[in-house]
Amino acid sequence: TVHTGTGTGTGDYNGTVPLTTTANGSTFDLKDGARGGHRTFDLNQGTSGTGTLFNDADDVWGGGRQNAGVDAHYGAAVTWDYYKDVHGRNGIKNDGVAAYSRVHYGDNYVNAFWSDSCFCMTYGDGAGNSKPLTALDIAAHEMTHGVTSNTARLVYRGESGGLNEATSDIFAAAAEFHAGNSSDVADYLVGEKIDIRGNGTPLRYMDKPSKDGNSHDYWSRSLGRVDVHYSSGPANHFFYLLSEGSGAKTVNGVDYDSPTYDGKAVSGIGIAKAEQIWYKALTVYMTSTTDYQGARTATLSAAGDLYGVSSAEYQAVDAAWAAVNVNG
Ligand code: ASN
Ligand code: ZN
C-alpha cells in the first residue's frame, strides 16, 4: 500500500515523506493511530524513560531536533506496512499494538537498539563521522529484533545469534525494497546512509559479507564463536544469493558481486519469494536454539510448503545454502 498520512516531514534521510500524526488540541503529536498507536519520543540526550512526545504546531515536521523524530517515525511506519502488506503481520506481536521509538539517546551514541523490556526502539545521534542512527534500514533492523523476540526467539549468541542478526538485516533490506522511496535506494547493504566510517561504506554487505573486514561469507565450525553481527554473514549471503543469484549484478544502480563456496553458480528467485521463505521459516519452523543446519531445514520446509518440494524455489534454497557451505 502507499504510505499516506496527514502530516509531512523532512528528516535527514528519506526526503519529504507523509507522516501519520494525531491532533492534540490545535497541535499535533507524533503518534500514528493507523499503525497501532506508534509514538516517537525525544529523549533529549537522556538514557531512560520516554522523554517528551514530539509535538508540532502545523504538522509540517523537520528541522533541528525533529529530524531524528521524523526519520524514526517514518521508518517504523514503513516497517509496520512492510510486515502487514507482505506477511499479513499486524505489528511486532501480531496483535495490532505498536512499539514506540525514542531518539536523541545519550551523548555521541553511535548505535541503535531494540529492547524487549521497554518494547521500544532507541536511536543515538552518532558521533564523529557517523550521522544519526535513524536511517530506514536501521529502523527496520531494530524493529525486526522485536519480531524475532516474539516469534522464533533466536538466542542472541552463537549461531542462533547470527541468525537473529541476519533476520534483522534481511527484513531491513526487504522493507527498503517494499518502501520504494526514491530518496532511499533499495539495496542489500546495511546502514550505508549512516556513513559510520566517513568513507561512504555500509555497516554490512549481504552479497559478500567479508567486504566489511569482519563478517564471514561461509559457514565454518568456528562460526558460533564470533560476534553475532559477523556470524550473520553466511545467512545474509544465503538470502542475497537466493534473491539475486551469484556473480556480478547491478540492482537499482548498486553493483554486487556474490561469490559461492564451491564456485558453482546459483540462480536467484527474486526477493519477493525469498522474503516469504525466510518469514515462514522464522515464524513456523525456527526455535530459540536453531543453528545454521536448522536454518537450512527450516527454510527448505518453508519453501516446500509455499512452492512444493519439487519446485525451482525449493532447489534454489538448497543451492544457496550449499553456496555458503551449509549442506544436508
Ligand atoms: N544495533 C545493534 C543491533 O541491533 C545493537 C546490538 O548490538 N544489539 O544489532
Ligand atoms: Zn541487530
**What is the per-residue pLDDT across 207-250, written as a single tens digit (0 to 9) for each?**
999 999 999 999 999 999 999 999 999 999 999 999 999 999 99
Please pick, among 87, 104, 141, 229, the residue that the annotation labels catalytic.
229
Residues 241-257: tens digit of each pLDDT: 999 999 999 999 999 99
Comparing CA positions, the residue from 220, 206, 182, 229 lying closest to residue 278 is 206
- Per-residue model confidence (pLDDT) at position 130: 94
| Spatial distance between the Cα atoms of 231 and 292, rounded to a whole number of angstroms | 10
Q: Whose CA is nearest to atom 7 of ligand 1?
A: 113
Enumerate the domain spans of the chain: 7-149, 158-323
CB distance 288 to 298 below 8 Å: no
7-149 fold = Elastase; domain 1 (3.10.170)
Give me ligand 1 centre to Cα 58, in Å: 35
- Per-residue model confidence (pLDDT) at position 2: 46
Confirm or reject: Cβ of 113 under 6 Å from ligand 1.
Answer: yes
Judged by its nearest atom, the ligand closest to the C-alpha of residue 194 is 1
pTM of the model: 0.98
Confirm or reject: Cβ of 137 under 6 Å from ligand 1.
Answer: no
Under 8 Å CB-to-CB from 72, ≥6 apart: which residues?
40, 101, 103, 121, 123, 134, 139
* Range 212-217 contact pairs with CB under 8 angstroms and sequence separation of 24 or more: 217/259, 217/261, 217/324
104 part of the active site: no
Question: What Cα–Cα distance (Å) separates residue 65 from each residue in 52, 72, 181?
Answer: 12, 12, 23
Ligand 1 pocket test, pick from 229, 230, 231 with the greatest ligand atom count within 8 Å of Cβ, gives: 229
| Spatial distance between the Cα atoms of 292 and 266, rounded to a whole number of angstroms | 19
| Spatial distance between the Cα atoms of 167 and 232, rounded to a whole number of angstroms | 8
What is the per-residue DSSP string for 60-119?
EEESTTHHHHHHHHHHHHHHHHHHHHHH---TTTTSS---EEEEEESSS---EEEETTTT
165 part of the active site: no
- Per-residue model confidence (pLDDT) at position 6: 87
Confirm or reject: Cβ of 115 under 6 Å from ligand 1.
Answer: no
| Spatial distance between the Cα atoms of 26 and 190, rounded to a whole number of angstroms | 39
Query: Residue 7: what are its φ and ψ, rounded to 5°?
Result: -95, 175
Q: Where are the beta strands (DSSP E) in the chain?
A: 7-10, 16-19, 22-24, 27-29, 31-32, 38-42, 52-53, 55-56, 60-62, 100-105, 112-115, 120-124, 189-190, 204-205, 247-251, 254-258
**Is CATH 3.30.70.330 the right assignment for the domain spanning 158-323?**
no
Strand order in the sheet with 16-19: 16-19, 7-10, 60-62
CB distance 301 to 285 below 8 Å: yes
- Three-state secondary structure call for residue 232: coil
Comparing CA positions, the residue from 212, 207, 213, 231 lying closest to residue 221 is 231
pLDDT < 50 positions in the chain: 1-2
ipTM of the complex: 0.95
Residue 97: is it exposed, middle or buried by C-beta count within 10 angstroms (0-12/13-18/19+)?
middle
Distance from the Cα of residue 263 to its chain's centroid = 29
| Spatial distance between the Cα atoms of 165 and 303, rounded to a whole number of angstroms | 21
- Three-state secondary structure call for residue 270: coil
Confirm or reject: Cβ of 156 under 6 Å from ligand 1.
Answer: no
CB distance 230 to 215 below 8 Å: yes
